[in-house]
Structure 1
Amino acid sequence: MSNALPVAELINNRGMNVDARCQACGEEPESINHTLFGCHVARQVWALSSILNPPGGFHESSVFSNLDFLLNSRKGNNSLLIYWRNWPWILWNLWKRRNESLFEGRLLTSEEVVLKSEDEAEEWFLAQQVEKDWAVTEKASKPLIRLNWEPPPCGWLKCNVGVDWCKRDGLAGGGWVLRNERGVVILHSRRAFSGLLYKVEANFEILKWAVESMRSHHISNVIFSGDLEDMFGAITGPEA
């Protein structure tokens, strides 16, 4: 949809001279819509798949119309999901088949494209279910710990700061949320930090960023809170 696939039509439009014909059927031009829907190979793949084709067939020139059909035709009928869910893999394998035929001289038959798409879709949905089951099991095995948020005194705001740091990559993620004494969120933000080799360095940079954020918003009377005991101790008792 972004015209990013380097088919012959778009390559020529960008100033390079290549054969504009589709290398699978010899028709001109090789457009994205032709490759994925209009070529005789694509039409045969869609006909062999479990996906119902639109009345009158796919649109001859509009990839937007064809994708709109694939995205919306199953709405309201969940019973068709298992048959309908393969279409992204069909598009992907049609594109891979085109590239393999051009650059490797290897041609999958239409039947092989359909079977490959169905297998890959099945593997992907199975992986999502396994991951979902793991998440449920892990959540059930973890003790539930509820930390009550303590409101600041009247006239003050509380900024809770969170830090997550990856030792392997030297990356950190930070976030803060500012609430009033009633717990209403006033502001919040998050960002990534790189080149942080130590956890204490990540804590310091992210706490400093949170303080600077308050200053840039001209917000005072703020109590900072978070799992940053070393940082708070260094600020409140620098001599120690």
Structure 2
Amino acid sequence: MDQPSLDALSQRIWKLNTGSKIHHFLWKCVNNALPAAANMKHIHITKDGRCMRCSMENETINHILFECPYARLVWALSPVHAPVDGIMSDSLYSNLWRVMSLQDRYPKEEAHADLVPWLLWRIWKNRNDFLFQGKDYAAQDAVNKALEDMKEWLERSEEEKKEGVGWVSRDYTGRMLWAGARRFQGVGSPIETEAIALQWAIQSMIRFGYKHVQFETDSLVLAKMINGKEETWPKLKPIIQEITHSLSTNRSYRVEYFSRDGNKTADRIAKEAFSFMNHVPKLYSVMPSWLIHVIEADMPSLGSNYDVGPNNVG
């Protein structure tokens, strides 16, 4: 098989019908950024680059996902089409391209394309459980769990096509200043929706003329990407760039992670957006009656900061 274009492979990964954590995992695979033993040996974190399951001398990402006897057995037991000659390639990119192009290769058959990313994720997860916890799951159990995870995610994603976002701004005493709620449809993953809510909150505070604002999000990954502590996912780059630009032009604005348990107010506002009959955003300068008891319950967990807490519900 010819070596596929890495750009084409990356684009296909982000178009897969799967969860954001799987997109990120596969993106790390393509960029050789997973802690396979060979990678850890290469950067001198460990001296042993072997596969602990089969003792292969060089445990690469391709070995873990496709060439290890355990991985080969998982693929063989799955309903996914095997390679024409029955042999996995020694190229990770060729193997990934093949399993991600099954629907193109078998347009008139059930290619089980949606299952592929979940099988890859489960093989990786089971490798880690075996290595760090001594748990050895049977290959058939891995296939069954991948099928279960896929079905659960597909069902949940259908329910999440209609999403609500909400944010609230409060002064240092916890008193509500403003709140916003909006209903969206077909936005994408929860982290994308969270980023949209945060962007809207930042833009609103700028328009209202607030100079010192701490923005709190319950997505630790999103907070790290915005603050440059984690590489930005390609799918989120446009909106992250807009957020960071707004922050750079408003130096007293900052974004921090804050547990959802300490910001139930924004969560309640996002849920209220489900009742909206259209997608027109709503802003509140007077506290609505349905929010009073939640604001009061949140007050003990607030610090002495001006804050805006965005949230999303899907």
Global fold match (TM > 0.5)? yes
The residue type equivalent to 1:43 in the other structure is: R
Q: How far off its partner does 1:203 sit?
A: 2.4
- Indicate the residue corresponding to 1:166 in structure 2: 167
Aligned pairs for 1:58-137 (under 5 A) are: 58-75=87-104, 77=107, 79-81=109-111, 83-132=112-161, 134=162
TM superposition score normalised by structure 2:
0.45
Per-residue deviation, residues 161-216 of structure 1 (Å, max 9, x unmatched): xxx9721699999xxxxxxxxxxxxxxxx9x67997xx66652369xx99xx9xxx
Q: How far off its partner does 1:24 sit?
A: 0.8
Q: How far off its partner does 1:103 sit?
A: 0.9
- Indicate the residue corresponding to 1:3 in structure 2: 32
Give unpaired runs (5+ residues) of structure 2: 1-29, 172-177, 181-195, 212-244, 250-281, 286-314
- Indicate the residue corresponding to 2:208 in structure 1: 203
The answer on 1:30 being equivalent to 2:59 is: yes
Structure with more helix by fraction: 2
Q: How far off its partner does 1:34 sit?
A: 0.4
Per-residue deviation, residues 84-136 of structure 1 (Å, max 9, x unmatched): 3111111111111111111111111101000000000011111122334x57x
Give unpaired runs (5+ residues) of structure 1: 139-163, 174-189, 214-226, 231-240
Whole-angstrom distance in 1 between the partners of 2:68 and 2:53 = 8
The residue type equivalent to 2:100 in the other structure is: L
Whole-angstrom distance in 1 between the partners of 2:57 and 2:114 = 31
User: Closer, same or farther in 2 for the Cα pair 1:203/1:79, shift >3 Å?
Assistant: farther
Q: Is the 8 A contact 1:34 1:60 kept in 2?
A: no
User: Closer, same or farther in 2 for the Cα pair 1:200/1:11, shift >3 Å?
Assistant: closer
The residue type equivalent to 2:208 in the other structure is: N
The residue type equivalent to 1:64 in the other structure is: Y
Larger radius of gyration: 1
User: Closer, same or farther in 2 for the Cα pair 1:33/1:201, shift >3 Å?
Assistant: closer
Aligned pairs for 1:132-151 (under 5 A) are: 132=161, 134=162
State the superposition RMSD in angstroms.
4.0
Q: Is the 8 A contact 1:25 1:39 kept in 2?
A: yes
Q: Which has the higher contact order (CA 8 A, sep 6+)?
A: 2
SS at match of 1:85: helix
Aligned length: 166
Whole-angstrom distance in 2 between the partners of 1:47 and 1:168 = 54
User: Closer, same or farther in 2 for the Cα pair 1:34/1:169, shift >3 Å?
Assistant: farther
Whole-angstrom distance in 1 between the partners of 2:151 and 2:128 = 24
Whole-angstrom distance in 1 between the partners of 2:170 and 2:142 = 39
Aligned-residue sequence identity (percent) comes to: 30
Q: How far off its partner does 1:55 sit?
A: 1.1
